[in-house]
Structure 1
Amino acid sequence: MRGFRKQLTGSLFAALLVLVAATAFGCTDVVAGKDATVDGSVITSHTADGAFYDAQVRTIPGATFPKGAMADVYWNITAEEEGGPVKIGEIPQVETTYTYFHVGYPFMNEHGVAIGETTIGQKEELKTFRPAAKAIMTVEQLEVFALQRAKTAREAIKVMGELAETYGFLPSCGSEGECLTVTDASEAWIFELRSVGMMWTPESKTPGAIWVAQRVPDDMVVVVPNMSRIREVHPEDADNFMASGNYQQFAIDQGWYDPASGKPFIWQEAYSPLTGNDDWSLSSMWIRNRLYTIHRILAPSREWDPYAETMSYPFAIKPEKKISVQDVMEMLRSHMADTPFDMYEDPAWFIRDGDTSVKSPLATPFVTKDMRKLLRIPYNRPVSKWDCAYSFVSQARANVPDPLRTILWFGYDNPHTTCYVPIYNGVTDTPETWRTFDRNAFDLKSTQWAFILGDELVNRRYQEAMADLTAVRAPLEKSFFDRIPEIDKKAAELAAADPAKAKAFLTDFTRECMEKTEQTWWKLNWQLISTYNNNKGK
């Protein structure tokens, strides 16, 4: 990076960093081991906090390929930039690929492997930029290859680690590192990945990435809010760690770690910016406020300091009570109520009404930038973002047939106002309206637009409209959860005789849930428009 920086003028480099900051949105993952959950499932989750990340849910069928076939490598798989994916390279194809579910950050395959994503900061010397960089493997492209080629979480990590080392890791969320929360029905893993700077080339015969992975203890939960969580690494403990061969040596070469010091090598500190103006530093409040919020939910009897340094938090925490899929949904929906960071309780919302002070009916926890400026409300980044493209909570279950191994509960837009819909890993198709979206054109035939509109309408009159939304959403989501035992039983019976029939049955169920949710949300939108419009004001 130092050599590359000398090739740029100071103003150009500064402009590049501004662009990087402008494109960084951030995401939140919560991942739990099987003994930390009420039903024994392994859970991961993800909030894709970029308004226009690709959220069109579709299956990409597995296939067989002739010897010598090549697989294309793309930039802009997330669709953060307009114009669609751009081919930037190719690698040898494998003989057989598995069916997987494609969105901006592909999240599940036919074998029930599920992956959550959250960007993490990395030091300036590691940063790598397109098009000058020779690295070609973005994290979303690595997810594609992992889901196409792996049956387990461990296999997925090995696939991604080897490809990143061979072809170079290319950051796609600004110039930062990445963390993936990778699960199957037995294990949950935290996989952290860094690039190695602008000067790397494939011809150098050196690894084009640095990475480590740590297993989540079965009875614990890990929260990853855009920061590195892994500290000490022990590759000799193969049950609980994996790492690239250079995971420590690169830091030694950069002068970031001295083995002669006698101090342990701390991965998190070696490669992350610690302080400063960098939003991705370990000291950033937008990271620590999410750590605080979710940890106090997991262990409410403990005294958590809302301003504690992020490095003071343990890698994993044993929840005081086992958590459910619904519990994780509520974590993702949090606007940090009952914390110092809840913008819904800012004093600016309270107005005089005679001798008392009351909260304005315009008050909302999701305050727009213009409203914050007007009312001088300080910004606190909540767990739940109004400009989230989609979110999910997945549950991978042991001792069930393959087509129903994992249920991924998917929701569009702001997690706080979304409705989560079950998608089984054996599903082979989704409704066209869930595969249709144009960011520049509102469309009544796009389910994503239904949720974008719903969130917008609720936010205009949050106190009253959110109650209306909850009254519709709660029974709908409950009806889905209530049907799962029945669907599991029938699908298992079908799978014993013919897995293809089980997949068809599960596909029909998922499509039914999606179509019902879509119809319900459009009806809710018309109700909100009819109820809360300025013709009814005084």
Structure 2
Amino acid sequence: MKRKITTSTVLLLIITLVLSGSTFACTDIVVGKNASTDGSVITSHTVDGRYDSRIQIIPAQDHKAGTMAPVYENIVYADHKDLVKLGEIPEVEHTYKYFHGAYPYANEHQLIIGETTIVGAPETANSDEAIMTIEQLEVFALQRCKTAREAVKLMGKLAEEYGFRESCYRGECLTVTDPNEAWVFEVFGVGPMWTKDSGKPGAVWAAKKVPDGHITVVPNISRIGEIPENHADMEDILVSDNYKETAVELGIYDETESKFFWNKVYGDMDNHPWEPGCSNRLWRVYNELAPSGNWKFENAHNYPFSVKPDKKVSIHDVIALFRDTNKNTKHDVTEQDGWFYENSKGEKVKSNLATPQVAGDMIELLDLNNYRPIARYYCSYFFVSQARSWLPDEIGGVVWFGLDNPENSPFIPMYVGIEDVPTSWKTLNRDKFDRDSAWWAFAQVDDFVNLRYGELREKVDSVLNPMQNHIFELQDQIEEKAMILNITEDQDAVKELLTNHTNSLMHWTENRYWKLADELYYEINNNNN
């Protein structure tokens, strides 16, 4: 359909285009249980931008009748900004233990959630009366739900009742998983005129189940397509009752049209400003996991919601994709002409400065054509998770967690049964260099390697690859020990074992990266030649 263009629409589109150059650009890869090698349900998240990377484990709690739960803004920036209370909602009698970060991501029942901001129709921008940010919705889902389907319904209900508070005129997507199902949940506001007293829903939302044998990826664009007329009779799709009525009221949908495409109406696909980075990530994942599809980069917006992979996908495969920088593809920025020069022998050679982690000034200076890869230097933290139905929750749910750039940092198994992490992983001050914060160890290595990538990449790999392989090798051993303890019904011993294992790996990797940073600094120091 053709959107009715108004002055306010043009203004909001301009704002969206300007803001699209920011680092609000996360990637989620999802794998259904029958598409994974071991039956895991997998989701993931690169938290790209300056966000709170501290790990906080919020314990389960009981609450007295009549207690109210606060609703906050700035959860994503809580390491350097004060929380702002926007309102409150009735508390429930019991809340579950969950893992809190910029975007809260897991609970004790193997409910695990990834997040990625998606571009939306500017007309959906809500009024200040809307209070439910996406991260606050995650908090409530993790505190109150055991399954992905239950979480989707609760978040949709809360967004409708209290209004979805958009950021930067965009929608939001959550990839919600449990040991049996994976869902893609998308939510948008209903326009700046909404008030809670209007009696109308303060959000529109839709959720689509990833088929058990499929994979999908959400790279900052809406992935839910057609909403069938008979959706109420379908088990794999959920949608708010007001989705069509609201679109008509906002002037972004003509009700005479025979079909309703969610990603075109609310996801604003025809006016999408984030190319080519989103298409590249979508193309890369589909091309790697289902190459038989012969995916054309230029047609990425028309890819199906999900696909069956050519072979089953392991947790290692998804981690490898999170390290991806377009190497050996036509979009490898390190192979572009700007990095090459003629040496004293008249040979054309690549500079050791050539790196896939390019910022705007380098792109302009060398006239590079940059296709944003999955792994980025401005990532705050990242994870790839497993939810496994055949294991007790404490052992079955594992979040492979890391700090800074996933290309250059290890993934550490953080089981949902653990009770604590090292203090340095709970500490963050991005405004000054801090050796008491683990984040700085990994960030420093990433900074140094990208100063002379051609020379130092191999040195980082010589540390990172054996380290990561050793961590992988320990997984079966530690889980076998945990299961023996579980059989004896010694749950405290299970939690202690897993906590000690995760903590020892975090201490080891952090300490080795502080040392590696010193080694790299020696290499780049211009007085050591």
Candidates 428, 442, 453, aligned match of 1:462: 453
Aligned ranges 1:320-335 → 2 under 5 Å? 320-335=310-325
SS in 2 for 1:35: coil
> 1:189, 1:97 → 2: CA distance?
22
Check whether the contact 1:111–1:405 (CA below 8 A) recurs between aligned residues. Answer: no
Residues 339-381 of structure 1: per-residue CA shift (max 9 Å, x gap): 3322111111111121421111111111232222222223322
Confirm whether residue 192 of structure 1 aligns to residue 186 of structure 2: yes
> 2:410, 2:318 → 1: CA distance?
14
Candidates 90, 93, 101, aligned match of 2:91: 93
Check whether the contact 2:522–2:528 (CA below 8 A) recurs between aligned residues. Answer: no
SS in 2 for 1:275: helix
Letter matched to residue 117 of structure 1: E
Which residue in 2 is equivalent to 1:270?
A: 265
Superposed CA RMSD in Å reads 2.1
> 1:514, 1:9 → 2: CA distance?
48
- Alpha-carbon offset, residue 524 of structure 1: 0.9
Confirm whether residue 518 of structure 1 aligns to residue 510 of structure 2: yes
> 2:247, 2:296 → 1: CA distance?
31
Which residue in 2 is equivalent to 1:248?
A: 244
Which residue in 2 is equivalent to 1:451?
A: 442
Which residue in 2 is equivalent to 1:165?
A: 160
Task: Tell me which moved more, 152-161 or 498-507.
Answer: 498-507
Confirm whether residue 141 of structure 1 aligns to residue 132 of structure 2: no
Check whether the contact 1:450–1:522 (CA below 8 A) recurs between aligned residues. Answer: yes
> 2:373, 2:213 → 1: CA distance?
27
> 1:365, 1:22 → 2: CA distance?
18
Confirm whether residue 318 of structure 1 aligns to residue 318 of structure 2: no
SS in 2 for 1:213: strand
Residues 168-200 of structure 1: per-residue CA shift (max 9 Å, x gap): 00013x220011000011011110111111111
Which residue in 2 is equivalent to 1:25?
A: 24
- Alpha-carbon offset, residue 10 of structure 1: 9.7
Q: Which runs of 5+ in 2 are unaligned?
A: none
Aligned ranges 1:263-302 → 2 under 5 Å? 263-276=258-271, 279-280=273-274, 284-302=275-293
SS in 1 for 2:61: coil
SS in 1 for 2:341: strand
Aligned ranges 1:426-441 → 2 under 5 Å? 426-441=417-432
> 2:494, 2:18 → 1: CA distance?
48
Check whether the contact 2:76–2:101 (CA below 8 A) recurs between aligned residues. Answer: yes
> 2:10, 2:200 → 1: CA distance?
29
SS in 1 for 2:268: coil
Task: Tell me which moved more, 435-444 or 292-301.
Answer: 292-301
SS in 2 for 1:236: helix
TM-score by length of 2: 0.94
Letter matched to residue 209 of structure 2: R
Check whether the contact 1:491–1:506 (CA below 8 A) recurs between aligned residues. Answer: yes
Which residue in 1 is equivalent to 2:359?
A: 368
Check whether the contact 1:289–1:307 (CA below 8 A) recurs between aligned residues. Answer: no
Task: Tell me which moved more, 514-523 or 232-241.
Answer: 232-241
Check whether the contact 2:264–2:270 (CA below 8 A) recurs between aligned residues. Answer: no
> 1:60, 1:17 → 2: CA distance?
35
Which residue in 2 is equivalent to 1:498?
A: 490
- Alpha-carbon offset, residue 521 of structure 1: 0.7
| CA separation of 1:10 and 1:380: change in aligned 2, threshold 3 A | closer
Candidates 320, 331, 342, aligned match of 2:332: 342
Deviating above 4 A after TM superposition, structure 1's stretches of 4 or more consecutive aligned residues are 8-11, 13-24
> 2:516, 2:79 → 1: CA distance?
31
Residues 433-465 of structure 1: per-residue CA shift (max 9 Å, x gap): 001110101111111011110100010111221
TM-score by length of 1: 0.92
- Alpha-carbon offset, residue 395 of structure 1: 0.7
Candidates 108, 112, 115, aligned match of 2:113: 115
Letter matched to residue 243 of structure 1: V
Check whether the contact 2:9–2:123 (CA below 8 A) recurs between aligned residues. Answer: no
> 1:258, 1:210 → 2: CA distance?
17
Letter matched to residue 348 of structure 1: G
- Alpha-carbon offset, residue 78 of structure 1: 0.5
> 1:258, 1:81 → 2: CA distance?
44
Identical columns (%): 44
Count residues with an aligned counterpart.
521
- Alpha-carbon offset, residue 163 of structure 1: 0.6
| CA separation of 1:20 and 1:285: change in aligned 2, threshold 3 A | closer
> 1:37, 1:521 → 2: CA distance?
31
Which residue in 2 is equivalent to 1:46?
A: 45
Residues 400-443 of structure 1: per-residue CA shift (max 9 Å, x gap): 11211211101111111111000001111110000111010111
